[in-house]
Amino acid sequence: KAGVTQTPRYLIKTRGQQVTLSCSPISGHRSVSWYQQTPGQGLQFLFEYFSETQRNKGNFPGRFSGRQFSNSRSEMNVSTLELGDSALYLCASSLGRTGWTGELFFGEGSRLTVL
């Protein structure tokens, strides 16, 4: 069974640009979430989607947005990039509420560097 796939794995952008990251969840998983990981703040929750609906949102500015498609694939977008947006962006998927065990399946992340 294929794991969570994130693309691109690495990218470099300059301040003011925008970026779109993509996530393909494990087949059959309908819940997708995004996290930002930095050395200073650790893993911080960005948003959670289930069946194309945003269920939860973290404390990030409106420059961070996301969406989920009918096939459960998800994208997140960051506009007007700032230096502090440099981070590893992790996508995770799960079955959702049914049979929840606290287990999120994470991808290997997209490492964004903003210059």
Partner 1 sequence: QKEVEQDPGPLSVPEGAIVSLNCTYSNSAFQYFMWYRQYSRKGPELLMYTYSSGNKEDGRFTAQVDKSSKYISLFIRDSQPSDSATYLCAMSFQGGSEKLVFGKGMKLTVNP
Give the binding site for partner 1 (CB under 8 A). Answer: 4, 31-33, 35, 41-45, 48, 55-56, 58, 90, 92, 94, 96-98, 100-109
Nearer to partner 1, 62 or 102 (CB): 102
Closer to partner 1 at the Cβ: 3 or 16? 3
CA pair distance 64, 104, nearest whole angstrom: 21
CB of 48 to partner 1, least distance (A): 4
Q: Which residue has the tokens 């999120």?
A: 104
Distance of closest approach, residue 84 Cβ to partner 1, in angstroms: 17
Cβ closest to partner 1, residue 24 vs residue 94: 94
**C-beta of 60: minimal distance to partner 1 in Å?**
13
21 burial via Cβ count (<10 Å: 0-12, 13-18, 19+): buried
Cα–Cα distance, 76 to 19 (Å, whole number): 8
